[in-house]
């Protein structure tokens, strides 16, 4: 499937990782027609499968298919996609992912206007008395992690700021955790 220009990992990598960890594997499918691949990822050991609202013309059906496989379902939104596009699906998912960069490449700079979007989603969930993971992905660094958490995010998907850190992965990760705690 094509949705973003690059490919990261497939179901076989998820299956390989499953043999090494009991941690939850959160798979974010940045592909067109994700419904064609959800059973592969579920069978490979994914605990959570997140699909993009922009890639799913039949989002409710796709979310139901994920859940029928015994996997938690999530929905992702690109920066320019309004929150109104997920209002009807919110009660059916256990995770909402706000992209804070345009998806496809690591190392992009966080779009600061997304803090307001995260805050509005957090408020929307509180108003509906829904408890779920509000995940943020894209451009997260030690400099913006606290603001993201204060806006309402409770899961931060970090990439380059940790994996390309000069001081090492564990130190960079510990630094971000300390900042948000």
pLDDT (tens digit per residue) in 4-23: 556 667 888 889 999 999 99
Q: Residue 123: which of 150, 102, 155 has the closest Cα?
A: 150
What's the rounded Cα separation, in Å, for the pair 38 and 90? 19
DSSP state of 33: S
- pLDDT by residue, tens only, the chain of 181 residues: 456 556 667 888 889 999 999 999 999 898 888 999 999 999 999 999 999 999 999 999 999 999 999 999 999 999 999 999 999 999 999 999 999 998 776 777 899 999 999 999 999 999 999 999 999 998 999 999 999 999 999 999 887 887 778 888 898 989 999 999 8
Within a 13 Å sphere around the CA of 123, how many CA atoms are in the beta-carbon half? Answer: 8
Within a 13 Å sphere around the CA of 86, how many CA atoms are in the beta-carbon half? Answer: 28
Question: What's the pLDDT tens digit per position in 52-70?
Answer: 999 999 999 999 999 999 9
Residue where the block lists tokens 């490979």: 44
What's the rounded Cα separation, in Å, for the pair 10 and 134? 24
Residue 84: per-residue pLDDT? 96
**Number of neighbours of residue 106 by Cβ within 10 angstroms:** 14
Provide, for the chain, the percentages of residues in helix, strand and coil under a 3-state DSSP scheme, each rounded to the nearest 5. 40, 15, 45
Its pTM surpasses 0.75 = yes
Residue 7: per-residue pLDDT? 62
Residue 1: per-residue pLDDT? 45
Residue where the block lists tokens 């009991």: 22
Q: DSSP characters for 123-144? A: HHHHHTT---EEEEESS--TTT
Helical H segments across the chain, by residue range: 11-18, 38-44, 59-68, 114-127, 145-151, 160-163, 169-180
């Amino acid at each position: 499937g094509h949705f973003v220009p690059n490919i990261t990992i497939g179901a076989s990598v998820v299956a390989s990782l499953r043999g090494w960890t009991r941690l939850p594997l959160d798979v974010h499918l940045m592909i067109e027609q994700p419904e064609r691949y959800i059973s592969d990822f579920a069978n490979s050991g994914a605990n959570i499968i997140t699909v993009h609202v922009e890639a799913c013309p039949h989002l409710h059906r796709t979310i139901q298919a994920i859940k029928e496989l015994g996997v938690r379902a999530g929905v992702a939104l690109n920066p320019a996609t309004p929150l109104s596009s997920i209002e009807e699906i919110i009660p059916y998912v256990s995770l909402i992912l706000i992209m804070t960069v345009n998806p496809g490449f690591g190392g992009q700079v966080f779009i600061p206007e997304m803090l307001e979007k995260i805050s509005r989603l957090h408020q929307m969930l509180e108003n509906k008395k829904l408890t779920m993971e509000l995940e943020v992905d894209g451009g997260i660094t030690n400099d913006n992690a606290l603001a993201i958490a204060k806006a309402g995010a409770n899961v931060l998907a970090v990439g380059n700021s940790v994996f390309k850190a000069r001081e090492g992965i564990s130190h960079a990760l510990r630094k971000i955790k300390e900042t948000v705690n």
